[in-house]
Chain A
């Protein structure tokens, strides 16, 4: 159901709207969309964690089956939760960018909205669930309703608490749960390779191999950790910037906002740099 736009929006004095400059929104949303692209380069998920874990269990047990046969269905569900939350945010920021762009490009919401329908799996608090719903409704309103450029600030204000909750939820899942699983995996490696290093039946060369293998695994996991933390940090940063902009839009001086966006750009460049370094 598409939420009705509050009547108050239509009653807002014209002089307020006349001062509205969309450039800050455009800059912020462009930066946001640039940053969110890094999410697609994470290269680590609940399901990939499950496969890694399953593979390592075979190594520990020293067993070879015809196929790997990992039971990862629940992990895939967790990925669906992550995907749904992410698409919702991406959808919103894309929409905002399109709305704020001078060309007012069209944007297609059909696929993210379809994705949302599978989000029933998520157990969210009431506030989180309502945030999720509201954000998608606002985005749909913005695209299908009778668009007026001036309304954007009000959309942002309406969306802000929901954007914050969803960003926070996604950052939490990535940082605490996905990274938490990686931490558990690290301890499994530690216990296994440390046991090997103490095994008197192994030759020094075999032990050396075990030590090397362990530190390589740690090195790889550190790269994953940096990526995930950067994305989680970015989500929070975007939410903060969105709040500031939507709360003080009328009062925001062009210069003040410019410096905020420049800070964001800088963060984005360092994120880009981090990902580039890790890909080398």
Chain B
């Protein structure tokens, strides 16, 4: 585990977010072409993926400008979560879980960028629950 969350680390987390957003886009394009999701779900998933990308954008900027210590702690936890999401998102069968995953990750990301320690902790708990649900499937 890294001792200091520096700009390099934050930039890597942003890259993770972009990769997850890409996988999520692949996922929704695949599901819509198989007519497994409605147009509304498809659009909403797109909004969530965009939200992730917006956060990645903010992280790249933060990485260039400044890194707050409270964001640092959350980022370290995020890295592990991101690895798991990246590894499994495309193989998720439950659309609802995929949707929950991307949604909670987006909210967590916003909390990191807005530097709200309370929301960060809360969102990490939520996302861990969603991940646990996924492993039960």
Contact = CB atoms under 8 A, between A and B. Distances in A.
**A, B from the same assembly:** yes
B65 A121 contact: yes
B15 interface: yes
B70 interface: no
Given A180-B11, A180-B14, A198 B60 contact: no
Contacts of B21: 187
A123 B57 contact: no
Interface residues of B, number: 27
Contact of A176 (B25, B63, B66): B63
Contacts of B67: 123
Contacts of A190: 25
B63 A187 contact: no
Contacts of A188: 50, 53
Interface string B45-86: 010011001001100110111110000000000000000000
Interface stretch (A75-83, A104-112, A222-230, A241-249): A75-83
B119 interface: no
Contacts of B11: 172, 176-177, 180
B33 interface: yes
B100 to A, nearest CB: 20
Query: Which range contains the number of A residues in contact with the other chain?
Result: 20 to 34
Contact of A81 (B8, B32, B46, B65): B65
Interface of B: 4, 6-8, 11, 14-15, 18, 21-22, 25, 29, 32-33, 46, 49-50, 53, 56-57, 60-61, 63-67
Given A176-B15, A191-B49, 5 more contacts: A53-B57, A77-B65, A81-B64, A122-B65, A180-B60
15 contacts: A46-B61, A46-B64, A74-B61, A121-B65, A123-B7, A123-B66, A173-B64, A176-B63, A177-B63, A180-B14, A180-B15, A181-B57, A183-B18, A187-B22, A198-B29
Interface of A: 46, 53, 74-75, 77-78, 81-82, 121-123, 125, 172-173, 176-177, 180-181, 183-184, 187-188, 190-191, 194-195, 198
